[in-house]
Every structure is written in C-alpha cells, then in structure tokens.
C-alpha cells in the first residue's frame, strides 16, 4: 500500500478521534517564528485539517497540501467555512505552490512520511526569505499503567506497528533537515477524555492496526474493552499526549 493511501478507509475515525493541536502553539510561533495574522501558511500533509485549524482560527490563509483524496475531502467539508482555507491535491515533494510564496510551513503528524531530501528542496523553493518550518507531533507517553497496557495492545495486535516505530524522526534527521541553521524543541501538554466508543475510534484510526474488516479486528476490540473496563472512571479514560513542536529557519 502506498503511504498516501494508508488512511483512506480510516478517515471518519481519524477526523472524530485524533487529538487536535493546543492553541498555545499560536502565541509560541508568534514569539519564535514571526507568525502574524497575515502570515501565509503551507500545511504539508494536512490530512483532515487538524493541523490547519489553529492557523485558520488565527485568521491566516492556509494552503492545505494533501495527496489522499478521502482525507482531503474531509478537510474541505470541515473547513469550508474559513475563507482562508485553500485545499490542494499535491505532495510534500511537489506542492505546486509558487516560488517564495509562504511565510510559515507546517507539518502535523506527517513529516515522517516525506522524502526528506526532496521535501527540504521543495520547502526552500516555496518559502520566503527568513521563513520558518514548524514540525509537530502528538506523542503518546507510556508512563501510567493504562498507557502501558494500551502500548502492549498495539504491540500485540498491530499489523505493522513495529515497522512504524522505526519511522520516528530522530534529532539527527531534524538537525540535517534544518542545516545550516538549527532548530528548537518545545513541548505542550495535551489530553483527551474518551468513553469506550471514542477509544475504539481512536484505535481504529491508526493505519498500523487491523481495519474493521480484518479478521483480527474483533479480538483486538475485546482486549481494548478489557483495558477500558480496568481503568475507566465514571465511564471515561484520560488519554494524555505531549505535543512536540520543532521549529527552525529555512536557511540556505
């Protein structure tokens, strides 16, 4: 399966249950990356629009670059109320955007899918002088007993979860991408509260887990229900994230 097609059958769960990005990223980027209300944003690998939302709420024009038809259609439906939302069927490596047209390039939960050599060249082409890139991930810590048991579920039932773990972007890769400049890291706390239906939806949104039509889907859900019943309080569990934001100037 092509990387651009991995989420085609998971769009509904993705848009409903994946975590948003904390609004605190906006004042942080204003202070460190020159973000203003007038900044033109390119959201690369924009998916269902979760990463575009904070910038649209900030009044920015956002060019949402997404190659997956189903994900892009979902974003277009969800974000059509924003006049600054511009949806484009394209890839990170070939955005189709004009030269020197973008003030800030954003990638949320997507950079690990890109060809980093070609993407770096494309980012430099479309960015204006002294522009920044901001790469974001919602990272799930494994600290509490609930988080540990959920991680074990992924390890046990994942179709290619271990392979996906190897795609995690390292500090060395980030440093190479931002050369000859440097990058800075900022962590924000993020959380969701889930009933069992929502927790099941979150799990089903992951491309490395069995799909709803897979023979191992129901056994996986039974194990998930056991975990939920073990840790729920008043019918809910808290799912914690660390939102890690890496920013750097796109220097030549």
Q: Where are the domains of the chain?
A: 3-249
CATH architecture for residues 3-249:
3-Layer(aba) Sandwich (3.40)
Contacts of 174 (CB under 8 A, 6+ apart): 135, 183, 246, 248
- pLDDT for 83 equals 97
Contacts of 184 (CB under 8 A, 6+ apart): 32, 246, 247, 248
Give 142-172 pLDDT, tens digit per residue: 999 999 999 999 999 988 776 564 457 888 9
Peptide bond into 180 cis (omega under 30): yes
- Copy the structure tokens of residue 210: 């069995």
Position 4 pLDDT exceeds 50:
no
- Copy the structure tokens of residue 35: 């973000």
Distance CA 72, CA 66 (A): 6
For residues 215 and 41, which has the higher predicted lDDT (pLDDT)?
A: 41
- pLDDT for 243 equals 96
- pLDDT for 169 equals 81
Please check whether residue 106 is in contact with residue 136, taking contact to mean a CB–CB distance below 8 angstroms.
yes
- pLDDT band with cut points at 50, 70 and 90 for residue 200: very high
- pLDDT band with cut points at 50, 70 and 90 for residue 67: very high
Q: Taking the model in full, what pTM does it have?
A: 0.89
């Amino acid at each position: 399966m092509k990387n651009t097609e991995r989420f085609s059958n998971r769009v509904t769960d993705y848009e409903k249950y994946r975590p948003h990005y904390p609004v605190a990223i906006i004042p942080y980027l204003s202070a460190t990356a020159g973000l203003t209300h007038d900044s033109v944003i390119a959201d690369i690998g924009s998916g269902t629009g979760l990463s575009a939302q904070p910038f649209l709420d900030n009044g920015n024009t956002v060019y949402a670059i997404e190659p997956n038809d189903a994900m892009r259609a979902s974003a277009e439906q969800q974000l059509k109320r924003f006049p600054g939302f511009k949806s484009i069927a394209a890839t990170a490596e070939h955005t189709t955007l004009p030269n020197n047209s973008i003030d800030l390039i954003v990638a949320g939960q997507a950079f690990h899918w890109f060809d980093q050599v070609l993407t770096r060249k494309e980012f430099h082409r479309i960015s204006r002088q002294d522009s920044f890139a901001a790469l974001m991930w919602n990272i799930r810590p494994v600290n509490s007993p609930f988080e540990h048991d959920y991680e074990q579920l992924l390890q046990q039932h994942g179709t290619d979860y271990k392979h996906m773990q190897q795609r995690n972007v390292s500090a060395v890769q980030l440093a190479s991408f931002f050369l000859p400049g440097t990058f800075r890291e900022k962590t924000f706390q993020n959380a969701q509260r889930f009933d069992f239906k929502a927790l099941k939806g979150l799990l089903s949104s992951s491309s490395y887990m069995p799909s709803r039509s897979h023979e191992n889907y129901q056994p996986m859900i039974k194990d998930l229900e056991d975990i939920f019943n073990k840790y729920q309080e008043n019918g809910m569990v808290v799912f914690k994230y660390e939102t890690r934001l890496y920013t750097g100037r796109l220097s030549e």
